[in-house]
Structure 1
Amino acid sequence: MKKDLFSPYQLKGLQIRNRIVMAPMCQYSVTAKDGKPTEWHYVHYLSRAIGGTGLLLIEMTDVHPDGRITDHDLGIWSDEHIPAFARIIDGVHAHGAKIGIQIAHAGRKAEDAEVPVAPSAIPFPGDAYKMPRALTTDEVRETVKLFGDAARRAVQAGVDTIELHGAHGYLIHQFQSPLTNKRDDVYGHNLAQFGVEVIQAVKKEMPADMPLIFRISAVEYADGGYDIDHAIELAKAYQAAGVDAFHVSSGGEGPAGQRKPGNSPGYQVPFARQIREALQVPVIAVGMLAEPEQAQSVIVNEDADLVAIARGLLRDPYWATHAAVQLGHEHPYIPQQYLRGY
């Protein structure tokens, strides 16, 4: 069967109608003060499902109130959050799409926490960020449990998959980076240890056929940051712990130094391909892939198995439908109610 942007994809027990993923994008919604999704989030996600997206990933949703980037982000630290997520998930399913959730902790990048926490007491550069407190070994283990509890709630809410956020300078990334992890316990001696334990805790809460996705920064751009070889070794440890697919991004650990991100369409695709080939594992490519022809080429050239669209889907909830029309697909995802518009 020919592989293209609109061919279906099977990841363990998850059957996706096409290769288009809505990347997690925080909404920073002021009405989400208590971490619960609101009517805004309900409309936001359902409109992308109606628009033909195959898999939606709910934005970074945090395991602790002080693990949010801002107090206007989503959380899943309480069972009280489950019903609001379930309503969104049920609605997305009703329109033929699948949906997952990205669970995370911002660590030293938690802007509104009174005292952020981190692997080591090293602040993120910039005036918006406070000096973090280094977690004790016992607190690290407690944080691992928070991720497991969050996964249990996500499964109860009805998600089809879970993504762990190990990229963009947030807590898991902070533990896996030699720039931000200066610990002298087991979590410092083995930079993959925290991520591995989080993966294991989350997998225990997931059905056996539900895939676990891990978002990873393939390279760091700050001077002295890790390169793709380090990311591949991390990914091998994470795959052995239970990760089924990698969502491959880059950077986020601090301002760029001598090495700069490409910031041109497809600049992160080679990283995805390298991880895919090194581990023989499914990957999601992401990063300025909003032109349908380019997204299509990523799949056809077998650089990645899925393509995540971020800003393109913020601009256009019907990105998938319009991409199908532009690419001349025989069965574009046009709701019957909208056919007259096409």
Structure 2
Amino acid sequence: MEILDILIIGAGPIGLNCAIEAEKNNLNYLIIEKGTIVNSLYNYPLYMRFFSTAEKLEIDGIPFISTAPKPGRQEALEYYQGIARQKEMNIHLYEKVMNVSKNNTFFEIETTKAKYTAKNVVIATGFYDIPNQMNIPGENLPKVKHYYTEPYPYTRQKVVVVGSSNSAVDAALETYRKGAEVTMIIRHSEISKNVKYWVKPDIENRITEGSIKAHFNAEIIEIKENSVVFKDENKHIHEIENDFVLAMTGYLPDFDFLKNSGIELNGNCLNPSYNMETMETNVPNLYLAGVVCGGKDTHLWFIENSRTHAHMIIHNILSHNKHLKTRA
């Protein structure tokens, strides 16, 4: 039976970076990914552009060439998947990790296709897989979408966009410009300050001129087949005609998976326990990397500031596991 030095869960940018660092140090690794390479990026809106410039998205010093100041989804897919191809990374795709358990010495990892044994495990699963539910009647209707890809299905439709973050603002602007009648339901008093600086004036101007309706300090309370019910800042109840609801309410890490792996979750934000200097969790030799480290605070970590996690993890593995048998 092969015993891996490192099993990496997730083939996102940070998972790939961990594999690169492992390869540099002659460690036997395997990446397990439930979808395609950089699966979360693949599922982003088709015309999404990053907040960061290209050089801040680079891994391993490999140049990220972009024709625009802010690279888009397709460019990122080409960049990260191209690295994986060029380096012939050891990745199993469309295979989901179901359970991670540790005996006295090794981790046993069970997936939908096989079982593996590893000395170290890195969880780099991101947070894009589980929508943050509103928990209201009608949320499971087919017209409710927690993921937005492109505006064309919403032409000439009455669309309610829930939220005020980048994803909500992009969805509102794009669908409006393709002929949708857009209403935004926003729990806060203003558009989020985290919205991309070149987009924020656009959405605010569209709201001011009335092209996009917006209800601030409001909360959606029920979704019906042909309408949406919401409560405004004065607690008055309104019902408006509606064809689609784009619930851009954010996403969460798989907390059950983290907890079942033995990781302690702390506070209201369910922050995972880990050492900030080594990325090692409360479970020895079990590491976190990337945005999954932030718990519910999904704006804490992103590609730009978590690229260093790979080096930190591999350095810690090498310094605390001198007994590892490395490849020649």
TM-score, scaled relative to structure 2: 0.34
TM-score, scaled relative to structure 1: 0.33
More helix by share: 1
More strand by share: 2
Between Structure 1 and Structure 2, whose CA radius of gyration is higher?
A: 2
Which fold has the larger relative contact order, with Cα–Cα distance below 8 Å and residues 6 or more apart in sequence? 2
